[in-house]
A and B are shown apart, each in its own frame.
Chain A
Amino acid sequence: MSAAVTATQAGLIRCGSCEKLSRARPLPPGARARCPRCGAVLWRRKPSSLTRSWALLIAAIICYVPANVYPVMEVGGPGGSEADTILSGVQAMFAMGWYPVGLLIFFASITVPILKILSLMGILISVQRRSHWRPRDRAVLYRVVEIVGRWSMLDMFVVSVMVALVQLGVVANVAPRIGATFFAAVVVLTIFAAQSLDPRLVWDAMEEER
């Protein structure tokens, strides 16, 4: 680790909004500090990072079930309508021989959310257990999760564009179904969960060791 003294060790705290460095002092439980210059709440690490992350992540996991069980989109045609879940949509793509599209949807809508949830859970658990295991890789993983997160919205884009464009009455029409709502919730919740997790916590465990 670096030889330099960390801000925490120096008893300093940086304001998240105006970047002013101020001197920290012990706080009574439940109290919080404000920036002396701009009045923003100050935190050494993101406030209740683990709690928020966990709460959002658990909500995401709960939503993940109906997102996959319920249909996301209903395609209506002259012969009646058919509702597709994400998985049955992928199946249909494969059945039609559209392997690239099927793979893309499978990757963006099924693989990515699962990996995201698992990655965040991994980071959260490792931070809580003050693990020393591969901190650098975990940091990289976190950055990947944060960047990739929004790409899961691809599916939602597809659904919303289809719903908007394919409104041909009896011939063909597309309507969103409850699964889409849950899927969007999963994506949004995981993005927030990743955001409220402070990656510096990974390193804190390493620092404490000293």
Chain B
Amino acid sequence: MSESGPPSGGASDVPEVVVEKGRGLSPIWLIPIVALIVAGYLAYEAIQERGPQVVVLFESAEGLEAGKSKVKYREVVVGTVDLVQIHDPKHVAVHCSLDKRTTPYLTESTRFWAVRPRVGGGNISGLGTLISGAYLTFEPGNPDDPPVREFTGLENPPLPADEAPGLRIVLRTDHLGGLDTGAPVFFRDIHVGDVVGWKLSKDGSEVEVKVAIGSSHSHLVRSSSRFWNAGGVEVSLGPGGLDVKTESLRSILAGGVAFDSPGGEPAKAGDTFRLYNSRAAVLKASTARTPGGLHLVLETGMLGGIAEGNAVYYREVPVGSVVSHELARDGSRVRVKVNIERRYASLVRSTSVFWNAGGISANLGLHGLRIHTESLKALLAGGVAFATPPKKLGQAVKAGTVFQLHPEPKDDWLEWQGKYSAGKRKEETKQAEVEDEAGAGEEAGDEAGQEEPEPAEDEAGQEDSEPSEDKEDKGFLRGIFDRGD
């Protein structure tokens, strides 16, 4: 059979084939079997992985697309939107298939919402959704609650969970004042937290602003912390010139909250603080509230431009403030409540006289023109000044003591100024406050070691005041023009 020759027409010359034993079932059937196994495994896996189907109702399906939009949990895709259809005239139903691992968390307390690009209050979130389109996300429910497959979606993202890291506190304020979710919270101009949400109080009388302070800064919030609205630019025209205050560029645009912490216990989560409208309001309030400050009542015939927050001057140094003013019950006079800071309280004696320091008093007398004003600030804003006669000190006063508030000072009252010290220690304190003023050092020198003022002191003091007038740049602010031309 191995013989082979050229085929020669007749079939008889052609050699026979070689015969070999067969091998049974064709191995080709392995191919469909393998295909079946692989495809079967995939199908099995798909069925195994098939998670719960849920329906979420929304008022609008803006940005949600069937087959494309995802359901994410902490930025991990855990499902897809399969179908978006109208549920009833006011709602759309978004059908989603979720990962089976989400099953235990789909309970009554689960909350779904859509994440869309949000631009507002200087806070831009969900930027990725500008390109990818909106997606759904949810807050896992308590696994112990009864499982649910139909949910009503939230129209707005819920406030971050309270168990998230950081300190959460609540600020109460009358007006939201431009604050929005995401507005920064500053401590000494450092961004330490954010506004995470706000809502009206139940009776609508206040706004409750929720604030989260980063955990690394949460110790800064103390029981005495004072919060104020730091949004925008605060421009004040004062004796020191034009003063522009802002926390940061971002707070100009987005609003913001700032706080300081004079001391006290560290705050706990959920503590409530007052949110003041401005830093000035904080200072005003804190002066009024300073414990131990000396509260006095001044009675006067007319208010004469005095307003809440005006300063109380002693030797042109603000030592307290006007807390409030009211008409006496019978309407016969005005009661102005002032608070003298504790460290200056001993300056007020039973013989002290108070007068309205607002405005300018001009006297044309024998000595020529005399113009008096307490300070530029007092001139603009009004204020109260007091002096104590150096000769008769009188008693230290108790809180609530009533004084007369005179509409304008008498000449000799002004002369008392600068000639009295309530004691050496107080004088030093005051000296620190007034050391800018010419002659202050000399005054202190003259009075050093003298516990009780003496008549001779009067003249010496007058002489002392002479050189100070040479400094004309300070002269105006010193407030006393006493030229005998």
> Is the C-beta of A159 less than 8 angstroms from some C-beta in chain B?
no
What residue of chain A has the Cβ atom nearest to residue B23's Cβ? A30
Q: Are B19 and A11 in contact (CB under 8 A)?
A: no
In the complex, the chain A residue whose C-beta lies closest to that of B36 is: A62
- Of B129-137, B268-276, B459-467, the segment with at least 4 beta carbons within 8 Å of chain A is B129-137
Q: Are B32 and A59 in contact (CB under 8 A)?
A: yes
If A33-B19, A78-B128, A80-B132 touch, does A56 touch B31 (CB 8 Å cutoff)?
yes
Q: Are B22 and A80 in contact (CB under 8 A)?
A: no
Task: Indicate whether B239 reaches chain A with its CB closer than 8 angstroms.
Answer: no
Chain B residue nearest to A25 (CB atoms) is B16
B463 to chain A, nearest CB (A): 81
With A28-B19, A34-B20, A70-B42 in contact, is A55–B32 under 8 Å at CB?
Answer: yes
B190 within 8 A of A: no
8 Å CB contact of A12 from B11, B18, B28? B11
Q: Which residue of B lies closest to A14 (CB)?
A: B7
Chain B CB within 8 A of A202 CB: no
Q: Is the CB of A36 within 8 A of B15?
A: yes
**Bound Cα distance from A33 to B15, whole angstroms:** 12
Binary CB contact string for chain A from 16 to 55 against chain B (1 if under 8 A, 0 otherwise): 0000111111011111111011000010000010011001
Whether the Cβ atoms of B17 and A36 lie closer than 8 Å is yes
Q: Is the CB of A80 within 8 A of B70?
A: yes
Interface mask (B121-160 → A, CB under 8 Å = 1, otherwise 0): 0000000111111000000000000000000000000000
A66's contact among B28, B32, B39, B77, by CB below 8 Å, is which? B39
Given the complex, which residues of B lie within 8 Å of A77, measured CB to CB? Answer: 131-132
Contacts of A187 in B (CB 8 A): none
Q: Bound state CA distance, A28 and B43, in angstroms?
A: 44
Chain A residues contacting B129 (CB-CB under 8 Å) are: 79
**Contact of A34 with B18 in the complex, beta carbons under 8 Å:** yes
What sequence of 0s and 1s flags, for each residue 48-74 of chain B, a beta carbon within 8 Å of any chain A beta carbon? Answer: 000000000000000000011010000
Chain B residues with CB below 8 A from A70, complex form: 42
A36 adjacent to B22 (CB under 8 Å): no
Complexed CA–CA distance, A179 and B28 (Å) = 23
Assembled-state Cα–Cα distance A19/B19 (Å): 19
A24–B23 alpha-carbon span in the complex (Å): 20
- Measured in the bound complex, the distance between the Cα atoms of B133 and A23 in whole Å is 74
B12 to chain A, nearest CB (A): 8
- The answer to whether A62 and B32 have CB atoms under 8 Å apart is yes
Q: Give the shortest distance, in Å, between A12 (CB) and chain B (any CB).
A: 6
In the complex, the answer to whether A31 meets B20 with C-beta atoms within 8 Å is yes
Let me know if B16 and A52 touch, CB within 8 A.
no
Contact A79 B15 (CB under 8 A): no
Partner of B22, one of A30, A59, A65, A82: A30
| Interface size classification for chain B | 35 or more
> Given A12-B11, A51-B26, A178-B42, does the pair A63, B20 have CB atoms closer than 8 Å?
no
- In the complex, chain A residues whose CB is within 8 Å of the CB of B1: 36
Q: Is the CB of B22 within 8 A of A32?
A: yes
12 more CB-based (< 8 A) A-B contacts, given A30-B24, A33-B20, A79-B130: A12-B14, A27-B19, A30-B22, A30-B23, A34-B18, A36-B4, A36-B17, A51-B28, A56-B32, A62-B32, A185-B35, A196-B28
Residue interface bits B321-340, CB-to-A below 8 A is 1, else 0: 00000000000000000000
A residues less than 8 Å from B2 (CB atoms): 36
Query: Roughly how many angstroms separate A71 CA and B197 CA in the complex, as a whole number?
Result: 42
B29 to chain A, nearest CB (A): 5
Residue numbers in A under 8 Å from B483 (CB-CB): none
- Asked if A96 is at the interface of the complex by the 8 Å CB criterion, the answer is no
Nearest B-chain residue to A39, judged by Cβ? B18
- Residue among B1, B15, B24 with max Cβ neighbours from chain A (10 Å): B15
Q: Could you write out 20 A-B pairs with CB less than 8 Å apart?
A: A11-B11, A12-B14, A13-B17, A22-B14, A24-B16, A28-B19, A30-B23, A31-B20, A34-B20, A36-B3, A37-B4, A55-B28, A56-B28, A66-B42, A79-B129, A80-B128, A80-B132, A182-B39, A185-B35, A196-B28
List, in ascending order, chain B residues with CB within 8 A of A56's CB: 28, 31-32
> How far apart are B125's CB and chain A's nearest CB, in angstroms?
15
Q: Which 9 A-B pairs have the closest CB atoms?
A: A30-B22, A79-B132, A33-B17, A79-B131, A23-B14, A59-B32, A59-B35, A34-B18, A58-B32
Which partner residue on chain B sits nearest A55 by CB separation? B28
Q: For the complex, what is the distance from the CA of A58 to the CA of B31, rounded to whole Å?
A: 9
* A82 CB contact (under 8 Å) in B15, B36, B68: B68
> Is residue B21 contacting chain A, with contact meaning CB distance below 8 A?
yes
Bound Cα distance A30, B21 (Å): 6
